[in-house]
Amino acid sequence: MNNIDKDRLDVFLKSIKRAEDQVLSDIRLEALEDDVPIIRDEMADFMRFLMRVIKPKRILEVGCAVGYSGIVMLKEAQEAHLTTIENYEKRIPVAKENFVRAEVSDRVTLLEGDAGEFLGRLEGEFDFIFMDAAKGQYINWLPDVLRLLGHGGVLVTDNVLQEGEILESRYAVARRDRTIHARMREYLRALSDTQGLTTSVVSVGDGAALSIKE
């Protein structure tokens, strides 16, 4: 499919998209105005679909930002509790306010601080884990993430295609991006090579890796 066709397809798909919840729509617009990275529109729809199919009870999110993706999940998974981690201090109060606005704050545990430290201390099993934080740290967090993922649980990792740069050799990538490029490739190989884990990469949004623990 060439770029023109893809652009036309994107326009068509948006034209048949169900209108988003007003609170979520407001939060999305505010995030975009403030240059806060949140999941793309098509990724949000994909997450809604996954919530309806999987029906998780315990969700772990690594990378809360302003709470948009967490609210997307909780709006669809009505019986779920979300544990979400955020390290950027300026975004934490905004996320808390947004959880209240969306009337889901009673189903949220927001952990404030370094994800690596929290992942090492968390116990129990989660039905669904969503990774959308510091991309260069995914490979370091993976052992704890897999420890926390219950059998039959699903791990979704966002932005794995890095705007297509994942396809390039390290020498074709800007020097400042080479470390994260190498680590994302290492992370995807680790997902593929881990015994007892089945992974598929889909091109929704900026690419998402879906892994299920057998």
> Tell me: the pLDDT tens digits for 51-106?
999 999 999 999 999 999 999 999 999 999 999 999 999 999 999 999 999 999 99
Model pLDDT for residues 165-199, shown as the tens digit of each residue: 444 445 444 555 555 567 788 899 999 999 999 99
pLDDT at 181: 61
162 pLDDT exceeds 60? no
> What is the residue-averaged pLDDT of the chain?
87
Nearest to 87 by CA among 119, 59, 55: 119
Kindly report the pTM of this predicted structure: 0.88
Query: Between residues 39 and 6, which one has the greater pLDDT?
Result: 39
User: Sorting pLDDT into bands at 50, 70 and 90, what band is 164?
Assistant: very low
Closest by Cα among 71, 64, 65, 59 to 154 = 59
Task: Name beta bridge partners: 58.
Answer: 81
Closest CA to 138 of 211, 40, 45, 35: 211
Count the Cβ atoms, other than its own, within 10 Å of residue 120. Answer: 12
At residue 115, what are phi and psi to the nearest 5 degrees?
-65, -40
- Distance, CA of 214 to CA of 195 (rounded, Å): 9
Query: In the prediction, which pLDDT does 134 show?
Result: 85
The residues, any chain, with a CB within 8 Å of residue 195's CB and separated by 6 or more, are none
Alpha carbon distance 122, 197 (integer Å): 21
Per-residue pLDDT, 14:
66
